[in-house]
Chain A
Amino acid sequence: MSKDKNNNTNPYEGLKPSNESFKNLPPTKQKPPVPKNVKPPKDATKS
């Protein structure tokens, strides 16, 4: 089965972005500003 997948007629298939949102929405360039007063997750505080 995996061999059939590799024999795909389009050689660039694996290189193309797989999701639709990437195709229509470009990836963001900047990092968001870090928000203040963020507490660690519930399970992280326990350990």
Chain B
Amino acid sequence: MSEEQERYWQELYDLKVHVSYLEIHLLNSESIDKKINIFLSIASSGSIASWAIWKEYEFIWASVIVLSQFINAIKPFLPYGARIKSLSKALREMEILSLEYEEKWFYIANGEKTEEEIHKLRFEIKNKKQKIISKYFSKNILPTNKKYLEEAETLVQEHISNYYN
């Protein structure tokens, strides 16, 4: 492999890892959001009924209601709702980008592109990726999660071993 092919391959790998990373982030954000919503609906309907039945635990039920009202009040300020929207849109565009440039790898690996063409394609990936990220995460910054990154890298390494080795 030439140096330019190696750089392209690394860029494509990074792109695929980041697609996977966004997907893991999305799944986890959705799971947290779902748990909050489940708690809120159980707390609002269940606590009043439980309070009426088990009066001796009224402090617990009152606390659950207070907590649910507190979560309800701060919920619009929690990042999960906005993050889910940004993540799903960014993920869709990143997946399209990843497929488009994974397809181009065939021609690069087949020796059908010049060094300069490979270099240009690599920078196309960089620019398009940056545009997507700026579009969706310039205000709502995504927190770095090393565990998600490791998980994403493992998944992509497996994918490469299955299809390219």
Which of A19, A24, A44 contacts B115 (CB under 8 A)? Answer: A44
Measured CA separation A27–B133 after assembly (Å): 14
Q: CB distance B161 to A26 under 8 Å?
A: no
Q: CB distance B149 to A29 under 8 Å?
A: yes
Q: CB distance A33 to B1 under 8 Å?
A: no
Q: CB distance B160 to A23 under 8 Å?
A: no
Chain A interface residue count, CB cutoff 8 Å, equals 26
Q: CB distance A24 to B137 under 8 Å?
A: yes
**B18 to chain A: which residues have CB within 8 Å?**
21, 25
Name the prevailing secondary structure of the A interface residues.
Answer: loop
Is B14 an interface position by the 8 A CB rule? yes
Is B109 an interface position by the 8 A CB rule? yes
Which 3 A/B pairs are nearest by Cβ-Cβ distance?
A39-B111, A32-B13, A35-B164
User: B: which residues have CB within 8 A of A?
Assistant: 1-2, 4-5, 9-10, 12-14, 17-18, 21-22, 108-118, 126, 129-130, 133-134, 137-138, 141-142, 144, 146, 149-150, 153, 156-157, 160-161, 164-165
- Beyond the given pairs A20-B133, A20-B137, A42-B111, 9 more chain A to chain B contacts, judged by CB atoms under 8 angstroms and listed by A's residue number, are A23-B137, A24-B142, A26-B146, A29-B149, A29-B150, A30-B153, A35-B9, A37-B109, A39-B109
